[in-house]
């Protein structure tokens, strides 16, 4: 038995480590180093690694160890300040949708919508928009997951390379879908050439726009995204109002110009990322592995946007006798949903509040409790944060839904704002109430899904949103066909409730065993 050899071995296995607590920890270090019982017997003369570890324990006071102090987390801002800041950060994430709706309702047009357009154009533009969301939605989720992961790890070259690759894949999918649509319309003449041209051009241009936007989401530059959409509306104003070009041609030129500028700037950002990554490795993970890990995010993005647009597609495809196309834009339904989307946007800020407040609380509590007090740790997060947040969200969501309706009513009846007249006609108010209540459940489900994603349980999220889509589809078709088209909104409402219920049950299970989910996700 060579003491010098054993001492050198001990110094090697404890290099860059803290001082071992006992021989059990030394046994674990030996196993990590690759030493087996047979090695302990043949090379060092011990019965097994445990006997060997007990012998090596005598060198504990001779080695030099690195100090590993308990993690100290940055002190968060005061409660009120961080709630306010994170809410508006989350609001900025959803603000582009608000910009689009606001300018459409107030000015009469936005980047891809217009009140003065005939219903044929409105229908095909909506179809192009929906297709763009479906094609780009999965890629946006994957970019947000993988690209942001590498950014947080400060692996900037990998963030750039992976994101560019994901964008290229999305563009290939975009082209394939586009070619299939062109061939299908060529043979079956579903749409006249002019209207199909509008659909396909908006599909291509909006897909590119949404992919560019996903890069800014990866950088978490939500206010920049808001300004991008405002600049897009300014471009439309320039071509339409100042130059007199009709819609949707003015929007077409605006989107081309906006996409050119955004694409140039996006690749400039990638160039800057790669420039600051001196000395960083450039080995991209195997695409087979990356594809497997990102499939849930592609599916989730696809089904999420599918869920958002499904009730409108069902409603617009109801009672098509006498209408020129199989899908026909329904103005009362769309106005009701658009105003409900304003409530959705105002609620989306709570998603950002929830996840950041959860991070603050878990960082605060992780150092307060010993490992054997894990039940107290779980309870402190479940009752001290999750239950209280749910109660707050309930009252806040009721306030938002009511304040949006009250604002419209006040502006129309007391201030006679003309563009609000359409809201109080036909079945539009009913669409607003059903859709906005559905969106209340939807946003709360998305908040639960954020917690689930944070613990790397994305497979469940895919199952939950898939179930919600199926319920939305089945109920929407049955009710709209058996009663009338406005009842398609019930599918949205019930689908949102089901999505919320399953996500809530899973989130509650996670908070009950938070210590397991927290450490298994590290």
pLDDT single digits (tens) 146-176? 787 778 777 788 888 888 888 988 999 999 9
pLDDT confidence band for 279 (50 / 70 / 90): very low
61 has a pLDDT exceeding 50:
yes
Identify the residue with better confidence: 409 or 34.
409
Residues in the chain: 522
> By C-alpha distance, which of 83, 70, 69, 68 is closest to 361?
83
271 has a pLDDT exceeding 70:
yes
Give the separation between CA 118 and CA 316, rounded to whole angstroms: 15
Looking from the CA of 399 toward its CB, the CA atoms found within 13 Å total 8
The tens digit of pLDDT for each residue in 350-367 reads 888 888 888 888 877 777
177 has a pLDDT exceeding 90:
yes
When pLDDT is averaged across residues 210-238 and rounded to a whole number, the result is: 87
Is residue 296 within 8 Å of residue 476, measured between CB atoms? no
Query: What predicted TM-score, i.e. pTM, was given to this entire model?
Result: 0.79
Give the separation between CA 376 and CA 218, rounded to whole angstroms: 35
- The confidence score (pLDDT) of residue 263 equals 92
| Maximum distance among all Cα pairs of the chain, rounded to whole angstroms | 97
Identify the residue with better confidence: 292 or 31.
31
Identify the residue with better confidence: 201 or 278.
201
Give the separation between CA 57 and CA 19, rounded to whole angstroms: 11
- The confidence score (pLDDT) of residue 487 equals 93
% of the chain surpassing 90 pLDDT: 27
3-state class (DSSP) for residue 117: coil
- The confidence score (pLDDT) of residue 282 equals 52
57 has a pLDDT exceeding 90:
no
Mean pLDDT of the chain: 84
- The confidence score (pLDDT) of residue 520 equals 65
116 has a pLDDT exceeding 50:
yes
> By C-alpha distance, which of 460, 474, 477, 469 is closest to 495?
469
Is residue 136 within 8 Å of residue 212, measured between CB atoms? no
The tens digit of pLDDT for each residue in 419-461 reads 777 788 888 899 999 999 999 999 999 999 988 888 878 888 8
pLDDT confidence band for 310 (50 / 70 / 90): very high
277 has a pLDDT exceeding 70:
no
């Amino acid at each position: 038995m060579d003491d010098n050899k054993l001492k050198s071995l001990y110094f090697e296995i404890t290099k860059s480590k803290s001082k071992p607590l006992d021989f059990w920890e030394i046994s674990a270090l030996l196993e990590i180093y690759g030493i087996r019982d047979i090695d302990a017997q043949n090379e060092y003369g011990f019965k097994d690694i445990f006997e060997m570890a007990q012998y090596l324990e005598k060198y504990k006071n001779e080695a030099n160890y690195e100090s590993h102090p308990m993690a100290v987390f940055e002190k968060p801002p005061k409660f009120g300040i961080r709630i306010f800041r994170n809410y508006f950060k989350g609001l900025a994430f959803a603000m582009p949708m608000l910009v689009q709706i606001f300018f459409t309702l107030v000015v009469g047009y936005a980047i891809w919508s217009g009140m003065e357009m005939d219903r044929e154009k409105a229908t095909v533009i909506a179809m192009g928009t929906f297709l763009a969301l479906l094609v780009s939605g999965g890629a946006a989720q994957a970019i947000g997951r993988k690209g942001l992961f590498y950014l947080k790890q400060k692996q900037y070259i990998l963030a750039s390379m992976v994101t560019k690759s994901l964008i290229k894949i999305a563009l290939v999918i975009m082209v394939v879908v586009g070619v299939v649509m062109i061939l299908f319309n060529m043979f079956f003449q579903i749409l006249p050439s002019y209207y199909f041209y509008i659909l396909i051009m908006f599909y291509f241009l909006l897909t590119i726009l949404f992919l560019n936007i996903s890069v800014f989401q990866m950088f978490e530059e939500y206010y920049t995204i808001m300004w991008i959409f405002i600049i897009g509306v300014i471009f439309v104003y320039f071509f339409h109002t100042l130059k007199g070009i009709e819609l949707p041609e003015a929007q077409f030129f605006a989107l081309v110009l906006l996409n050119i500028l955004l694409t140039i700037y996006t690749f400039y950002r990638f160039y800057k990322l790669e420039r600051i990554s001196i000395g960083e490795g450039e080995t991209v993970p195997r695409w087979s592995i990356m594809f497997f890990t990102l499939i849930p995010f592609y599916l989730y993005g696809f089904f999420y946007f599918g869920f958002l647009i499904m009730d409108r597609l069902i409603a617009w495809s109801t009672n098509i006798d006498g209408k020129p196309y199989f899908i026909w834009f329904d103005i009362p339904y769309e106005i009701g949903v658009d105003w409900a989307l304003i409530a959705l946007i105002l609620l989306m800020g709570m998603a950002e509040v929830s996840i950041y407040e959860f991070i603050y609380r878990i960082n605060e509590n992780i150092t307060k409790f010993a490992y054997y007090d894990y039940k107290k740790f779980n309870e402190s997060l479940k009752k001290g944060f999750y239950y209280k947040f749910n109660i707050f969200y309930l009252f806040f969501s009721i306030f938002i839904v009511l304040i949006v309706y009250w604002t419209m009513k006040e502006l129309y009846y007391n201030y006679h704002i003309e563009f609000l007249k359409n809201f109080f006609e036909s079945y539009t108010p009913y669409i607003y109430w059903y859709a906005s209540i559905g969106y209340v459940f939807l946003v709360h489900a998305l908040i639960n899904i954020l917690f689930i994603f944070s613990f790397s349980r994305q497979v469940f999220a895919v199952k939950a949103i898939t179930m919600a889509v199926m319920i939305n589809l089945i109920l929407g078709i049955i009710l709209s066909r058996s009663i009338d088209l406005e009842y398609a909104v019930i599918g949205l409402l019930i689908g949102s409730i089901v999505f919320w219920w399953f996500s809530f049950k899973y989130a509650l299970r996670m908070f009950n065993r938070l210590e397991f989910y927290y450490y298994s996700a590290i």
